[in-house]
Structure 1
Amino acid sequence: MKAGLVTRPTLYLDLDGCVIDSRASIAASVDEALRRYGLAALAADEIDGLIGPPILAGFERLLARRNSSQPSPAQLVATFRERYAVVSLTQTTLFPGMEAALEALGTRAALVVVTSKARFLAVPILEALGIADRFEAIFGPAPDRPAEPKTETLARALAGRPRTAGECMIGDRSHDIDAGRAHDMPTIGVTWGSGSAAELTQAGADYVVDDPADLAPVCASIARLER
């Protein structure tokens, strides 16, 4: 084991597209926000850009793509959150195999959520799914910081926690991989969310897995390599 590191590793997990399937609830909430301002509903190829990255950035890209200057992205975020706080509790599911994966990961590591979703929205979802107690901590942006980069969210999660052999960042989008690499930790990209294997590989993911059941063996391998 590396000098100065404790035995029990910490695994930092993205939420949307990694642990939970929030596609339906996000799409419904975005459509409601767009409808209130007289804008067309999401096209099929627009939803993935709004799952994973900070929601403010997603709305900025959406409005730019549509050459629309009104409403402001911040107005859409506020309306989105109003609807999402309700529908996310009934229209969000765990990805198949994720409950067993969390059980396996939790036997050897501390689990911490690091999400671009505002924390006040993330916690009730995990509670509704009955898995909030699987995580030692849940980190997400404050309500007034909808554009907080994942690198900063991960930095807050790391503050005050010991750096551990076997720690890693797990997520489905390039910004998850970027965050892990920025903090000098191994990264695992998952392909059951919105990001593709190509996106994750291009971002520099150390490992790319296609099934939640593969997470525990890969994390165990990382821990062995770092000892």
Structure 2
Amino acid sequence: MLKLAIWDMDGTIVDSRDVIQTAMTRAFETQGLTPPPYDATRQIVGLGLRESCQILAPDDLSPERVDALVESYRNAFMSRRTDPDFKEPLYEGALETLQMLRDENWLIAMATGKSHRGIRAIFDMHPLESYFDTIWCADDGPGKPHPFMVEQSMNALGAEAHQSLMIGDAIHDINMGNAAGVRTLGVTWGFGAAHELEAVGAHEIHHSYKTLQESLLRFAQATGN
């Protein structure tokens, strides 16, 4: 029987907290706006970039200024990658967990708010590309929390909802997975807090890759694999 793990990227596999907050701060400063605090930024991670900027920007900011803010963020994000001190590391246990899934014959998908360009940058930095059987991102259709990316992942790989689960650190990941009818596993080492993930109905909440791995193995056993 098939078993499909659908992964978020930022805050789940890759520790992108610094680069996202730094880029958002630079973008707002470029546009002459007061930068949002980290606690505000972390709550929009996973949404599409324009929606994120709209949420964080002042209510009276014109659509044209929002567009400019979006472009400033893109430029700041790419510029941050060239800084000498730049780091966007994998979380400890991420690569080992993906390898475990591959060894156990899981199908593996990505459902991320990143753009295709952002995904390419991560793949150039870390040996992740070969693990993913299908990839869906903000460029492909409706973003989180719409179930589109999860549904497309299942459709692309021939998996049904009861054979699939969504793994993510943000409430938008959990809402997306729940909307698609799959099991949702929230993780707390990224942008979301445990109580937030619990409040939106995560089926499980994990504080380490060790317990996440154990849960994935239990899911495989429960589905007859």
TM-score after normalising by structure 1 = 0.85
- Report if aligned partners of 1:17, 1:172 keep a CA contact under 8 Å in 2: yes
Partner SS state of residue 47, structure 2:
coil
Change (3 A) 1:81 1:63: same
Partner SS state of residue 167, structure 2:
strand
Change (3 A) 1:160 1:199: same
> Aligned to 2:11, which of 17, 20, 23?
17
- Sequence identity, in percent? 22
TM-score after normalising by structure 2 = 0.86
Q: Deviations over 1:156-211 (max 9, x none)?
A: 32233211554211001112111112222111111111111111111111111110
Partner residue of 1:163?
159
Q: What is the distance in 1 between the residues matched to 2:91 and 2:135?
A: 19
Query: Structure 2: which 5+ residue stretches go unaligned?
Result: none
Task: Tell me the matched-pair count.
Answer: 217
Matches within 5 A, 1:116-127: 116-127=113-124
Partner residue of 1:4?
none
Change (3 A) 1:221 1:88: farther
Partner residue of 1:153?
149
> Aligned to 1:74, which of 63, 67, 85?
67
> Aligned to 2:202, which of 202, 205, 217?
205
Give the aligned CA root-mean-square deviation in angstroms: 2.2
The answer to which of 97-106 and 190-199 deviates more is: 97-106
Matches within 5 A, 1:166-205: 166-205=163-202
Q: What is the distance in 1 between the residues matched to 2:99 and 2:197?
A: 25
Partner residue of 2:136?
139
Distance apart, 1:88 and its partner CA: 4.4
- Report if aligned partners of 1:15, 1:114 keep a CA contact under 8 Å in 2: yes
Query: Structure 1: which 5+ residue stretches go unaligned?
Result: 1-6
In structure 2, give the amino acid aligned to 1:213: K
Change (3 A) 1:160 1:105: closer
- Report if aligned partners of 1:11, 1:168 keep a CA contact under 8 Å in 2: yes
Q: What is the distance in 2 between the residues matched to 1:138 and 1:123?
A: 11
Distance apart, 1:25 and its partner CA: 0.9
Q: What is the distance in 2 between the residues matched to 1:46 and 1:32?
A: 15
> Aligned to 2:46, which of 44, 52, 55?
52
Q: Are 1:31 and 2:25 matched, yes or no?
A: yes
- Report if aligned partners of 1:105, 1:215 keep a CA contact under 8 Å in 2: no
> Aligned to 2:100, which of 89, 100, 104?
104
In structure 1, give the amino acid aligned to 2:96: A
In structure 2, give the amino acid aligned to 1:224: Q
In structure 2, give the amino acid aligned to 1:80: Y
